[in-house]
Copies of this chain bind each other. A is one copy, B any other.
Amino acid sequence: MQARLDAQREALLAAAVALLSEQGYAGCSVVGVAARAGVSTGSVYRYFPGKAELVVEVFRGLVGREVQAVEQAADGPGDLIDRVVAIVETFANRALKAPRLAFALLAEPVDAPVEAERLVFRQVFQQAFARHVTEAVKAGVLPPQEAAITAAALVGAVAEVLVGPLSAGVASADTVPNLVRFTLRALGADDAAHS
């Protein structure tokens, strides 16, 4: 029945996630995913039009979770600036907990369809930042600034600072605090208030 079909589909997606988490995109070949899921390569094409669609769906699912986590954190307690900080902290801490996967999602070389998806999600994160920065500027707790630029710059900054530790596999304990201090300065927030 339908449930069984869906189960196979899910099994393939789960296998792809597992391989991605362990070996990055290299392990994510059709043959690899099929083997991991315990089916033949041919069967993969019963559930997905092709490799691109499978990988993109995996990517979307994983990054979607991150987006949710970040947005939930941004809705937590604290003032407007705390919310921006919460985005940075949540994003960074989650990434450092699953380094191989985070590297794959953030920076690993991928082919065009997945890269396109990556750009989309970077924009989603930028918008999350921009929304809160705009509010904070309006409220007068941050100096006037082009929110879109600040947001893009913060996304780039967080990603770049994390890529080193992520590819090395380990991060210094104060990477995240340092990143937060950078963020506060970049926003133009008064350091003393949030140190």
A contact residues vs B (CB 8 Å cutoff): 109-112, 115, 119, 122, 143, 145-146, 149-150, 152-161, 163-164, 167, 174-175, 178-179, 181-182, 185-188, 191
For the complex, would chain A's binding face be called helix, strand, loop or mixed by DSSP majority?
A: helix
Query: Could you say how many copies of this chain the assembly holds?
Result: 2
A143 touches B182 (CB 8 A): no
Which residues of the other chain, B, contact A110 by a CB distance below 8 angstroms? 109
Nearest B-chain residue to A157, judged by Cβ: B153
B149 touches A179 (CB 8 A): yes
Provide the bound-state CA to CA distance between A182 and B188, in Å. Answer: 9
A153 touches B149 (CB 8 A): no
In this complex, which of A122, A146, A155, A158 has the most chain B Cβ atoms within 10 angstroms of its Cβ?
A146
Residue from B109, B119, B157, B163 in contact with A157 in the complex, judged by beta carbons closer than 8 Å:
B157
